[in-house]
Amino acid sequence: MATKTYPLRMPDDLLQDMAQLARKTNLSIADAMRQSMRLGAPKLLEQLSTDQTRPFTDEETRLAYETPNPEFDDLEHHCASMPKRRPAG
């Protein structure tokens, strides 16, 4: 397997955490970092991905559409009662 070296700056406290993790798991610091990346990447993607669009669950749909919101309902009725503009042209 081909490998590449990538320099990585780390704060001292994070490097200490990695060293402690390596000792507890009997891995080298480099192996502990690689395994952390492998195991943590899916969670990182889930938490920080900008592509978070997904359909509502049934519970979210009920909460969004069946929960009354009097303030919004009043605004919706007001806007619907306003005269319509003719298209320019």
C-alpha 50/C-alpha 89 separation (Å) is 40
Place of tokens 């806007």: 79
59-82 residue pLDDT tens? 988 888 887 888 988 998 999 998
Q: For residues 41 and 47, give the distance between their C-alpha atoms in angstroms, rounded to a whole number.
A: 10
Question: Would you kindly state where each structural domain of the chain is located, as residue ranges?
Answer: 12-41
Structure confidence by residue, pLDDT tens digits, 8-44: 999 999 999 999 999 999 999 999 999 999 999 988 8
